[in-house]
Chain A
């Protein structure tokens, strides 16, 4: 899964995400709320994209569309080249299971259930046998640095640890896309650094990550930032390209 980016020419790399003129309207008539207006977005395999925006800007709506949790009013959404609109409820469940790993702000672990069982859950729905499931869940937990905590319940883990369990759960099916919704919103600074470090490592390992945040510091870790504002999406200038014009003086190197 990490091979694509480095070896294949850019045009042949399939887009993990391909969103075209996506709109979402809640309600109708005069009370209609346009949460998203004609959004276009493509994400290549292995990209680490941060979506930033004020609260109410439509970024959560966008995430719900990308995660197949909600259907768009109009527009097209291709996930791994597959048009999501063509799928029925059951097929969408399979798609979420195989292609998407969710990481939520509130962790969303199943209460009263061990860390291991939480991580195993997507594999259960994928129909993976018990032994294989256990092995893969254990591997995912050690990847996020939680080996030895398999039998802890969510209420026995710190916020940072819970979020790492959630990351392990998102990873365990080796999905095409990791979708993170304010993953550090409920964490202290140490745990935030922890989780962001984990994302960096996953990115380095070639994972495709789309992260939603309102925190600029979190967004800075991504290789690409898009801004959602009033339901419209704009590409933020790459920070590297942004630097020279801002400090014209430094461009004049000493001769």
Chain B
């Protein structure tokens, strides 16, 4: 009794009940398709966010002031130019390439003629452009001389330029009023695209630090400090140098109770990656439940099949089928159901990933495909074992007696 014959019997048994076989398979198809699709979604989202974070500037580190958690009511020390100078000291912070003090004002009215819009005004130094990974579109960036002189010049984000001067326009040489103060437009920023990072750089207006301080914020504390590490590899070292310098300057003993926080794309990537990983796992677990339900469907149908074909089993046994042949026939039936269901499920899941969702596309993991087919075969064996054993153990006399 060869394997080929057992498979032939199994296929014949399945074809005899086409609709039922198909419906049973459907449980596995849905389960496997769900696993493939959901892991692909998680994977696609993860790749998309990684790409977005790389766009933020992989070497960029942002220092923000914050309320220390343990000192209720008392503000921490603000970030100052003194902090900037300390961080820029190559002895204390050898892994830091540049330090840019930043002041920013959100929701500021910018006008050009009769057009007006709200934008975030960011005042900094020329090192901010590489430091925060901001690309120039047209015109020029402001210079160290502009900062020193406090010249009222601005670079407009693409959205701001579009709203004030028309879509695709080049406003270099024109004037704008920032909260009533006239500024010369010297350039525009390259479009960054919707939703890059946490705020939209297309809605920013960049100006020299001193000009923003002189006309909008006053010469007080900094909103943030942007630090650029020497390289992506040096980022972790740069972060710890920043921490030790600022801890000393701000008199911090407890790292949990700092009055500032250090953010980097790397940290953001790690956090998002962890979150997404957990989320993907959750989705896959839910999909796995549907797979188990599909497997139980196989057990159910195979039990029905064994009961329904009790007489046939009896005939086969009377004709000399050994228990192993009966076991094999029913086991192979359930394996075929689950493996064919698994392959179809992979196909359905893959077809599902071709539908783009928002900004990102799901990415099917080859390992998930291999695992899905392997798991479906295992489901066939596991959930088919009990019915097949029951068939094999039927006593021929009792099986034959059944009408």
Contact = CB atoms under 8 A, between A and B. Distances in A.
Contacts of B397: 64, 69-70
B396 interface: yes
A237 interface: no
Interface residues of A, number: 28
A126 interface: yes
Given A69-B400, A125-B325, A93 B1 contact: no
A151 B400 CA distance: 25
B400 A96 contact: no
A163 interface: no
Nearest to B392: A89
Contacts of B325: 125
B318 A67 contact: yes
B320 A125 contact: yes
Contacts of B5: 124
Contact of A112 (B1, B16, B316, B323): B16
Interface string A155-176: 0000000000000010001000
Interface in B267-315: 311-312, 314-315
B319 interface: yes
B322 to A, nearest CB: 4
A127 B322 CA distance: 12
Interface string B136-165: 000000000000000000000000000000
A90 B327 CA distance: 12
Interface in A64-106: 64, 67, 69-70, 89-90, 93-98, 102, 104
Nearest to B311: A108
A42 interface: no
Interface in A117-160: 121-122, 124-127
Contacts of A249: none
Given A69-B396, A69-B397, A90 B322 contact: yes
A243 interface: no
B174 interface: no
Given A69-B400, A124-B1, A89 B318 contact: no
Contacts of A97: 319-321
Contacts of A109: 315
Contacts of B321: 93, 97, 125
B322 A108 contact: no
B322 A98 contact: no
B190 to A, nearest CB: 71
Given A113-B12, A127-B1, A69 B318 contact: yes
Contacts of A13: none
A101 to B, nearest CB: 9
A1 interface: no
A125 B6 CA distance: 10
Nearest to A61: B397
Nearest to B13: A112
A70 to B, nearest CB: 5
A171 to B, nearest CB: 12
Contact of A93 (B314, B323, B400): B323
Contacts, number: 65
Interface in B12-39: 12, 16
B194 interface: no
A64 B397 CA distance: 7
A147 to B, nearest CB: 22
B232 interface: no
A126 B2 CA distance: 10
A111 interface: yes
A189 B324 CA distance: 41
A110 B316 CA distance: 8
B317 interface: yes
Contact of A94 (B16, B318, B320, B395): B320
Contact of A122 (B12, B312, B320): B320
Contacts of B316: 110, 121, 125
Interface in A177-205: none
Contact of A90 (B2, B16, B315, B323): B323
Interface centre among B2, B317, B324 (most CB of A within 10 A): B317
Interface of B: 1-2, 5, 12, 16, 311-312, 314-325, 395-397, 400
24 contacts: A67-B318, A69-B395, A69-B396, A69-B400, A70-B395, A70-B397, A90-B322, A93-B321, A93-B322, A94-B320, A94-B322, A96-B319, A98-B320, A102-B319, A108-B311, A108-B315, A108-B318, A108-B400, A110-B312, A110-B316, A113-B12, A122-B320, A125-B1, A125-B319
